[in-house]
């Protein structure tokens, strides 16, 4: 199943990141560029680094200059994340381009890659919640609370994985079709963001 394949790659990326646990470490993708695994690994690495950016920027004692620099990094990371989702959807569009759609085929509320994006974030939630469950310095109440949350996250993983695999099966069999609407973010565009436009 594709969801199992993707989640294994997400786990691989998360584990590799946490060897050094440093947002500034160099990135090395073990998958060849023409392999979907390359896009999945890159996607999750971006998510993992951003997860830790988000932790850092919530430091109540962060220097304002450092906070602004970090905010810029988060903005850039969000753009990279969106780009990777579109690359992954392009892979599926190409893979299923010759599928004959059924006359009454329907479209899903989200594309396969945006569902896979949620699976990548879910992999991070599971990893970090499991860390909380295994903390030696936490209270029994904290551990129990986190164990209950971890159980829910694992149930979400099961449901989301099933939904992704069903969606891909339906697209492959012509019961559903997909479209990709390029993200039309306005706040990074010099012409669409009035603040940036007025600074030109």
What pLDDT, on a 0 to 100 scale, did the predictor assign at position 187? Answer: 66
Bridge partners (DSSP) listed for residue 177: 107
- Rounded Cα distance, 161 and 152, in Å: 14
Instruction: Report if residue 77 sits inside a domain.
Output: yes
pLDDT band at 73 (very low <50, low <70, confident <90, very high): very high
Query: Which of these, 27, 51, 39, 173, lies nearest to 116 by C-alpha position?
Result: 39
Instruction: Report if residue 19 sits inside a domain.
Output: yes
Instruction: Report if residue 64 sits inside a domain.
Output: yes
Query: Which of these, 145, 133, 124, 136, lies nearest to 49 by C-alpha position?
Result: 124
Which tens digit of pLDDT belongs to each residue from 18-50? 999 999 999 999 999 999 999 999 999 999 999
E strands within 20-169? 106-107
Which tens digit of pLDDT belongs to each residue from 128-186? 999 999 999 999 999 999 999 999 999 999 999 999 999 999 999 999 999 887 766 66
User: pTM, whole model, 2 decimals?
Assistant: 0.90
- Rounded Cα distance, 98 and 164, in Å: 20
Per DSSP, 98 falls in state: T
Q: Which helix (H) or strand (E) holds 176?
A: strand 176-177
Task: Give residue 21's region: left, alpha or beta (phi > 0; psi -120 to 50).
Answer: left
Query: Which of these, 53, 9, 56, lies nearest to 35 by C-alpha position?
Result: 9
Q: Identify the domain containing residue 54 by its residue range.
A: 2-186
Instruction: Report if residue 162 sits inside a domain.
Output: yes
Give the total number of structural domains in the chain: 1
């Amino acid at each position: 199943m594709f969801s199992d394949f993707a989640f294994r790659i997400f786990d691989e990326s998360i584990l590799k990141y946490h060897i050094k646990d440093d947002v500034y470490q160099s990135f090395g993708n073990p998958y060849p560029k023409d392999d979907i695994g390359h896009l999945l690994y890159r996607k999750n690495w971006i998510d993992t680094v951003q997860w830790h950016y988000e932790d850092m920027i919530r430091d109540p004692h962060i220097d304002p200059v450092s906070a602004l620099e970090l905010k810029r990094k988060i903005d850039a990371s969000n753009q990279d994340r969106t780009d990777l989702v579109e690359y992954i959807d392009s892979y599926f569009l190409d893979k299923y381009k010759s599928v004959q759609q059924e006359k009454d085929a329907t479209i899903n509320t989200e594309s396969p890659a945006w569902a896979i994006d949620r699976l990548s974030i879910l992999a991070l939630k599971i990893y970090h919640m499991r860390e909380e469950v295994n903390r030696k310095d936490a209270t029994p109440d904290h551990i129990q609370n986190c164990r209950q949350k971890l159980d829910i996250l694992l149930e979400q993983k099961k449901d989301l994985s099933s939904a992704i695999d069903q969606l891909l099966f339906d697209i492959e069999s012509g019961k559903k079709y997909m479209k990709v609407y390029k993200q039309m973010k306005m706040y990074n565009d010099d012409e669409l963001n009035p603040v940036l436009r007025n600074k030109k």
